[in-house]
Chain A
């Protein structure tokens, strides 16, 4: 359907993030322990989990805002938790972070907010700053609102402005903290498309923290699921979407049957009762096709639909990938 290589000169760009044995606790209460995963360079990964499982804590640990109890985070050969403060500030320049509510500086208008990192870290002349800021504002569709204060605009606009500010130093790693929380479905769809397009343009490594399963099912190349204080599974999208592992299956398909309860995980009795009652799990829904960049060309991190299933001998649920059953047919 579409070429798998563009002449073989594709070097993977972006930065790989290798997390090993990461453990974090607050006041003796472990948030999660022994999280080991690798965010592949240039790919989009999503970290999912029920509310309150410390997804945002994980994201903040990844940029060094919180110190883990144990474990390492390797970025370009440097171990983040063991860096001096000065070195940490240097490494952070690789990062762009979109915080939940945009985290704009309330005393500055949108233009100054987006220009802030440029003015602080570069010696670019004001005309150059202007050009870059307008380019980023255009990317997120905020031209015309640049003189508004963060307090005067809607939550969705704040999020987009926060994204523009995160992009302005051309980061190699972009982290999104619940980009879809508090947005209507249409805006979420636009934002997801924007994320995919951005990944195509920048080849940066993306990590999206969310509990929106629609985003998780269609946007990423990789999915991770945090549940009950540990990383239940991390791997290619198709691996998790075709998985029959109870927690993964329950969460990714938003079902009530499974180990996750209303308050916390269900206990053994409840699970037994569920099994005894012979509650039949509905069949896995088809794996939806992945969101493609809007210009129709492929991203570097993108894999052919069905490739993972085909390589690993897994039969995807019937009707998967829409019409693009490339990998399966082969």
Chain B
């Protein structure tokens, strides 16, 4: 029974995603709602993302710093930092922030509209919430995730640079020069693709959970909680799959 309901929920979520996709294709696209949502999601996610990525870059620099010096490979600190931040930390931090800040806000918003019967009212007034509310949120979340990934990469690498050069006495030139030693441009591209998919997944899960919330204010709280947990798991799984595919498809340096 419980297994069946889990499968059924996965099924309805998939159907929901297809509906959302259809809503995306419908004209006119809700530009106003899209801009409002993109602005809103970035306003709740930019600062936490930057604040998380600074220590992330710093931790990598600290971890590598002494190790690399013992091996006499200081000139590779920059390379390692870029590799770690752009390939892994960037998408992961983006995923956490998009799911935790953006997704929870979307879920809470749609959930409270659901229990106040606003969504029912909208449907009765002849307006499809999938087209009107969900589609602009998904696109906004995707856009913000891509931009956020760029921000996290830049801030993370700068954080690493600051710690390596200022705190650990590394050479600025070596740090910058080694950027290309291990990393390559496709790393950044795949990072952005990851962010794009994370943004879509987070917004879809949040919208689905919000729009199926039931049972009053407590139901909204539960929905937000579930949406964040589910999104985390989904994004980490997605991250693994994309990384595995990427390593198979794109030849790596230094192998």
Contacts and interface: CB of A to CB of B under 8 A. Distances in A.
A106 B245 CA distance: 45
Contacts of A65: 120, 123-124
Contacts of B127: 120
A90 B125 CA distance: 10
B126 A105 contact: no
A92 B116 CA distance: 20
Interface string B143-165: 00000000000000000000000
Given A103-B116, A106-B113, A106-B116, A97 B121 contact: yes
A93 B121 contact: no
A120 B113 CA distance: 19
Contacts of B117: 99-101, 103
Nearest to A89: B126
A103 B120 contact: yes
A103 B118 contact: yes
A328 to B, nearest CB: 42
**B interface bracket (residues with beta carbon within 8 Å of A):** 10 to 19
A291 to B, nearest CB: 26
Contacts of B126: 89-90, 92-93, 117, 120-121
A85 B127 CA distance: 11
Contacts of A120: 125-127
Interface residues of A, number: 24
A305 interface: no
Interface in A72-103: 85, 89-90, 92-93, 95, 97, 99-101, 103
Given A103-B116, A106-B116, A89 B128 contact: yes
Contacts of B112: 106
A99 B121 contact: yes
Interface string B170-195: 00000000000000000000000000
A284 B71 CA distance: 99
A165 B116 CA distance: 16
Contacts of A104: 118, 121
Contacts of B118: 103-106
A41 interface: no
Nearest to A63: B124
Interface string A98-131: 0111011110000000001100110000000000
Nearest to A113: B121
A60 interface: yes
A63 B112 CA distance: 22
A92 B121 contact: no
Interface string B90-129: 0000000000000000000000110011101111111110
Contacts of A85: 128
B165 to A, nearest CB: 48
Contacts of B128: 85, 89
Nearest to A96: B124
A123 B26 CA distance: 19
A262 to B, nearest CB: 23
A92 B124 contact: yes
Contacts of B122: 105
A193 to B, nearest CB: 24
Interface in B60-115: 112-113
Nearest to B132: A120
A91 to B, nearest CB: 9
B113 A92 contact: no
Contacts of B123: 65, 89, 92
Contacts of A60: 120
A105 B117 CA distance: 9
Given A103-B118, A104-B118, A105-B118, A95 B113 contact: no
B88 to A, nearest CB: 38
A104 B119 CA distance: 10
**Looking at A93, A97, A162, which has the most chain B CB atoms within 10 Å of its CB?**
A97
Nearest to A105: B118
Nearest to B130: A85
A99 B120 contact: yes
A323 to B, nearest CB: 41
Contacts of A99: 117, 120-121
Contacts of B116: 101, 103, 106
A116 to B, nearest CB: 7
Nearest to B128: A89
A67 to B, nearest CB: 13
Contacts of A90: 126
14 contacts: A65-B123, A89-B123, A92-B123, A92-B125, A97-B120, A97-B121, A99-B117, A101-B117, A103-B118, A106-B112, A106-B118, A116-B125, A117-B125, A169-B125
- Ranked nearest first, the 6 interchain pairs of A and B with the lowest CB-CB distance are A103-B121, A103-B117, A99-B117, A97-B124, A117-B125, A89-B126
Interface of A: 60, 63, 65, 85, 89-90, 92-93, 95, 97, 99-101, 103-106, 116-117, 120-121, 162, 165, 169
Interface of B: 112-113, 116-118, 120-128
Given A101-B117, A105-B121, A165-B121, 11 more contacts: A63-B124, A89-B128, A92-B125, A99-B121, A103-B118, A106-B113, A117-B126, A120-B127, A121-B125, A121-B126, A162-B121
